[in-house]
Amino acid sequence: MLKISTALICAILPAALAACGAAATTDATGSTGSTVSNAVPAIVGLRLNSSGTGTTIATVNADGGSFHSMTTTSVPFGAAEATHGGKFVVFSDGADVDNQRLYVIDDNGSRRQLVGPTSQIASAASPAFSPDLQWIYFRAVPAGQPGMSAVWRVKLDGSGLERVGAARATGLGAPSISPDGRTLMETTLDSVVFTVLSSGATHGEKVRCPGARYSPDGVHVSCISGTDLVVYDAQFLTSPRTLGDGDYRAGAGTDWTPDGTKILATSATNGPELVSYADGSVVSAKLGTTYVWAAFVK
């Protein structure tokens, strides 16, 4: 059974607004006045091991509490997505950047390969859940086509594996699916490409926005451009807003709280930060610079 965040209840049930207002000032430990509230989901993060040879994948609260180690990886980079309240984590691992696989681990420590080498896939990484949590979209290097990548999808049980995007050069970051489930957004070195999933029709925007991610309402898109956290409108018609304090890791991507009020981005200076969409200020930075990737538990 999926856990439903306070923010999501607030969005769905107007009658709960009064209770939601009270919950917004209560942190995960029950104390009041914290900048990290119950409206902020738990985080799944990749934390560098002290040996420097890999990472520990763990779920943790935004204030650093309730740390729960899930597994370790072989390389000091990667990506992870967690669902069912952190019960399942999908992540990439492999001997090197060109030989990545997707795995699933549950909170009991049971690990299985989700996507490995096939006659069509040489390497798989950068997972991202669809809004309905039914699919895991990811980027794969086609067999025999080094330097190229395409977006594929698969279900959590390993069924339904299929390619949903064309092979492109210099594909970057995890894909993102619009909140209505109709549009795939993926990025290359200098472009954002949209694919209508029902028809396969595509169009692109010439803009550098690696790992672009839709906001919960589908109106905006966030990404790390250079070292800046920026937010565009979803059609890329206007100039972007720059938020936060800079020095963000492009490869670590971004994520939004369910209510769309905060963005999670990983700073090389401070580690994962919660940044206010309203005024661009850093709301919280408590996990530290050993984290090289962070996303909210779905």
Domains and CATH numbers, the chain: 1-38 (no CATH), 40-296 (2.120.10.30)
- Euclidean distance between CA atoms 73 and 91, whole angstroms: 9
Question: Looking at residues 11-23, what average pLDDT do you find?
Answer: 33
Tell me what pLDDT residue 251 has.
Answer: 86
Among 29-38, 76-85, 216-225, 241-250, the range scoring the smallest mean pLDDT is 29-38
What is the rounded distance in angstroms from the CA atom of residue 292 to the CA atom of residue 277? Answer: 22
Other CB atoms within 10 A of residue 164 CB: 17
Neighbours of 68 (CB within 10 A): 12
Q: Which residues contact 51 (CB under 8 A, 6 or more apart)?
A: none
- Each residue of 125-143: pLDDT tens digit? 999 999 999 999 999 999 9
Contacting residues for 187 by C-beta, under 8 A, at least 6 apart? 171, 172, 173, 193, 209, 210, 211, 212, 223
Q: What is the dihedral of CA 219, 137, 36, 241, to 10 degrees?
A: -40
**pLDDT at position 25 over 80:** no
Q: Determine the average pLDDT of the residues in 173-195.
A: 96
Measured CA to CA, the distance from residue 264 to residue 227 in angstroms comes to 14
CB of 236 closer than 8 Å to CB of 192 = yes
pLDDT mean across residues, the chain? 87
Query: What number of other Cβ atoms are within 10 A of residue 184's Cβ?
Result: 22
Range in 1-5, 30-34, 206-210, 212-216 the model is least confident about: 30-34
Burial class (CB within 10 angstroms; exposed 0-12, middle 13-18, buried 19+) of 133? middle
Q: Give the per-residue pLDDT at 149.
A: 93
Q: What residue has token string 């919950």?
A: 23
Q: Give the β-pairing of 202-205 and 271-276.
A: unpaired
pLDDT of residue 20 exceeding 50: no
pLDDT band at residue 39, thresholds of 50, 70 and 90? Answer: confident
Read off the pLDDT of each residue in 185-211 and give the average, rounded to a whole number. Answer: 95
Rounded average pLDDT over 2-28 = 34
Question: At residue 3, does pLDDT exceed 70?
Answer: no
Share of the chain above pLDDT 70, in %: 87
What pLDDT was estimated at residue 146?
87
Q: What is the pLDDT of residue 30?
A: 29
29: which residues sit within 8 A by CB, 6+ positions away?
A: 63, 65
pLDDT, position 28:
32
Contact, 273 vs 280, CB < 8 A?
A: no
- Give the number of C-alpha atoms closer than 13 A to the C-alpha of residue 170, restricted to the C-beta side: 8
- CA dihedral 230→153→295→95, nearest 10 degrees, is -110
Give me the pLDDT at residue 170, please: 79
Dist CA 229 CA 170 (whole Å): 21
Q: What is the mean pLDDT of residues 76-96?
A: 93
* Predicted local confidence at residue 13, as pLDDT: 33
Average pLDDT over residues 153-179: 94
pLDDT of residue 51: 85
